[in-house]
Every structure is written in C-alpha cells, then in structure tokens.
Amino acid sequence: MQIQISPVSVFPSTATQVEFLPAEITFGQSARCQYILQDADGANLTSAWVEMTPEQYALWGDDDSYAADTFLANLGLVRA
C-alpha cells in the first residue's frame, strides 16, 4: 500500500510517499510492518520496520486504513 506523505528529508533526497508491505501479526498481541520511504519517482530511499503497541493493536478491527494511519502516526509521518 503506497501513501502520499508530506515531504520528509531522507539522504540523499526527499521522501514524498511511503509503501507499507503486508503486516506481520501476532494474534491478540501486536503487529509490525516493513515500510519503504520513496521519492516522487518511486525510488526507494530507506526501509525499516514499524510496530503497533498492544493497545493500538487491540483497537484494530477489519479496517486496514486504521493500521496505515497508526503506522504513519508511529513514524511521525503525515498524509499529504
């Protein structure tokens, strides 16, 4: 899932989108997801993992936009 974000400086460029890969879930406990920050052309700049807290995970129902918004918030990123 690719999401447009407010620009973030990432050496050597500026990230304007983030791509979330499928989440790894420990049912009833937590979720984590690999993300890739990309520039406007879709070139990968950096990647890492982001996690939900157990409290955040408990609030996640069947709405994947909740997961994306939670991961964005945990990374300090804002939708463009």
The residues spanned by each domain of the chain are 2-75
3-state secondary structure of 66: helix
Residue 28 confidence (pLDDT): 86
Residue 3 confidence (pLDDT): 97
Q: Can you list the residues of the chain whose pLDDT is less than 70? A: none
